[in-house]
Amino acid sequence: MPSSSQDDLVRRAMARATGEITDAMTVDQKADALEDALSEELDSLAVPPSALANPQFPVQVDDNPEGTVLMHREPRLPEMPQKPTLIDFFKLRWAPASHVLQSAALARRNGFSDRIVLACLLHDVSVHGLIRTDHGYWAAQMVEPYVHPQVAFAIRYHQALRFFPNPDVGYEYPEKYLKWFGEDYVPPAYIKADYEYAKGHEWYMAARQVTMNDLYAFDPNANPKIEEFEDVIAREFRRPEEGLGFDRSPVAHMWRTMIWPNNFL
Ligand SMILES: [Fe+2]
Ligand SMILES: [Fe+2]
């Protein structure tokens, strides 16, 4: 990102935060408000390839000028290669994906294993590319055929574990959740039940380690690049020969949906 756009980003974040900052706030609270605003500005840089992005308003396409529906070509998004890899999805559908890249970089800095670094790298990709609701479950399912089951487990259960502190390993209830969900928020029963299940599982710490590295560090100058994780991906993410979306796996349709999020049918 050139420095002028970094300056613009910070300027827009400052403008966004100004409306929320009051004299009564502590310095920490003001810093939090600015960080939230930076996060929102960073997110706004991403191309939104959501499956829910206006499918009812298709654009006309060149190869069928008479047609009124959009199929297999989305002029608002970069074209994907015929045999897309995980890295293609990072670059062409999920970019900038700052949060997961920064979480994976933190996990690596903290000395965690390849599997945990990969789990951190993938833990929220459903939010970047497909759907927000129950994002841990969706993200785990998307990658399950290609990773060690422990990686899918860690991704699936990080969603529930985020709501439950584990002070023994330094994981506290996220301050942001107090703001987003309110002070009295009680997670639904299925989240509580899945937390209890995960807590008794031999891979509990893998999911917990994802939550321990699940941090926002919004420094637009220090954005890790997906290339930095090529080695981990090569070791821990099985690459289907036909490309993601075309390998006839039980989740291939999820990857195709991210390639063509707005197909009429
Ligand atoms: Fe998450
Ligand atoms: Fe996250």
What pLDDT was estimated at residue 39? 62
Mean pLDDT over each residue of the chain, to the nearest integer:
85
Split into its structural domains, the chain has a count of: 2
Q: Both 38 and 117 in a single domain?
A: no
Contact 50, 130 (CB under 8 A): yes
At 144, which CATH number? 1.10.3210
Q: What is the pLDDT of residues 10-27, one digit of tens each?
A: 677 777 777 777 777 777
DSSP H helical ranges for 82-188: 86-92, 98-109, 114-122, 125-129, 135-143, 149-161, 175-181
Please report whether residue 69 resides in a domain: no
Q: Which residues line ion ligand 2, judged by CB < 5 Å?
A: 124, 214
What pLDDT was estimated at residue 121? 98
Q: Both 22 and 130 in a single domain?
A: no
CA of 236 to the centre of ligand 2 (A): 20
Ligand having the closest approach to the CA of 140: 1
Please report whether residue 252 resides in a domain: yes
State the residue range of the domain holding 35.
3-44
Over range 232-258, report the average pLDDT. 97
Please report whether residue 160 resides in a domain: yes
Residue 8 has pLDDT above 60, yes or no: yes
CA of 167 to the centre of ligand 2 (A): 19
CA of 252 to the centre of ligand 2 (A): 24
CA of 100 to the centre of ligand 2 (A): 6
CA of 85 to the centre of ligand 2 (A): 22
Whether the model clears a pTM of 0.75, i.e. scores above it, the answer is yes
Q: Both 33 and 143 in a single domain?
A: no
Ligand having the closest approach to the CA of 120: 2
Over range 139-151, report the average pLDDT. 98
CA of 151 to the centre of ligand 1 (A): 14
Q: What is the pLDDT of residues 68-124, one digit of tens each?
A: 677 887 777 899 999 999 999 999 999 989 899 999 999 999 999 999 999 999 999
Please report whether residue 265 resides in a domain: no
CA of 215 to the centre of ligand 1 (A): 10
CA of 99 to the centre of ligand 2 (A): 7
Please report whether residue 227 resides in a domain: yes
Q: What is the pLDDT of residues 70-83, one digit of tens each?
A: 788 777 789 999 99
CA of 123 to the centre of ligand 2 (A): 6
> Long-range contacts: 54-63, Cβ < 8 Å, 24+?
54/262, 55/261, 55/262, 55/263, 55/264, 58/262, 58/264
Q: What is the pLDDT of residues 225-239, one digit of tens each?
A: 999 999 999 999 999
CA of 22 to the centre of ligand 1 (A): 30
